[in-house]
Structure 1
Amino acid sequence: MNRFRVVQATLERELAKPYAYGDPARSDCFMMGCALVDALEGRSTVRAYAGTYKTLTGAQKALRKRGFSSLTDFWTTELGRPPVAPAEAQFGDLVILTLDDGAEHVAICIGTRFRTKTPDGSTDHALADVVAAFHIG
């Protein structure tokens, strides 16, 4: 299966799941990012982090407990490579957004937009919201 189809299938599957923090049977933006990394790189990040938090506050605590100061810090370590400039993001890459609420969100590059999952559904964002990008696959 080519990259486009893998990314499309993964996004469709993750966005169709009900929203729930840290539950792989459901999904949040972090689990969506983990599922994409797993699909494109053959990793097991969903399994590694499933059930480690149940709320947004719990997710932030789980990051700090593991010694990470941000999602960018986490993914840099997890992927074993530094982020690239946001404008270098390509289709299917993982990005970190900072939105108006001040919270960080994991999103996927879908061309010139970046799709994330929120409790209110999926939302698309512009390059201006991206603070870090990681080439995946």
Structure 2
Amino acid sequence: MLTLTRLPDWDRRLARVVNQHSRTPGEWGVSDCLLTVMDAVATITGIDPAEDIRGTYKTEIGAARILRKRGFADVEQALASLFPPVATLRAQRGDVGVVERNGALSCGFVCDRGFAVKGERGLSFVPQTEIKSAFKVG
């Protein structure tokens, strides 16, 4: 489990990540849901937990292989290995979690617009009540 501290200006930094990823389409290994969450974590804390996997895969199958190689069945297990759990309705801006979409888990983060999840066209925002599990960042 990581011990991270939020930077003093984390809230402004997170707003920039939201703006950037709102306009950036999803792309495996570059801007998928997990890497978007890790971009948020990196900007909030200054530490990128996904530094070693960036650019190492280009497909959904490749992403699944990376997770399995590290002993995780899905993104929920990967996040749970890095961050302590928090009740979904107590998750605050900058905290991360997962939602179930179209029968699959997608990870995202809490921001001022709701729970941000990366999709093909950029970020979409769902109500916090849809979060399946949440994890505390910093």
Decide: shared fold, TM above 0.5. Answer: yes
What is the RMSD computed on CA atoms of the aligned residues? Answer: 1.9
Distance 1:121 1:40 in 2: 20
**How does 1:26-105 map onto structure 2 within 5 Å?**
27-77=31-81, 79=82, 81-99=83-101, 101-105=102-106
Q: Structure 2 unaligned segments of length 5 or more: list them.
A: 1-7
**Consecutive aligned runs of 4 or more in structure 1 exceeding 6 Å deviation:** none
Letter of the structure 1 residue corresponding to residue 27 of structure 2: A
What residue in structure 1 maps to residue 122 of structure 2? 121
Distance 1:94 1:67 in 2: 20
Q: Which has the higher contact order (CA 8 A, sep 6+)?
A: 2
Distance 1:90 1:84 in 2: 9
User: Identity percentage over the alignment?
Assistant: 29
**Structure 1 residue 93 displacement after superposition:** 1.2
Q: Structure 1 unaligned segments of length 5 or more: list them.
A: none
SS at match of 1:49: coil
Measured against aligned partners, the alpha-carbon deviations of 1:4-52 in whole angstroms (never above 9, x if no partner) come to: 21110122123333321012xxx12111111111111221234222123
- Partners of 2:11 and 2:44 within 8 A in 1: no
TM-score by length of 2: 0.82
TM-score by length of 1: 0.83
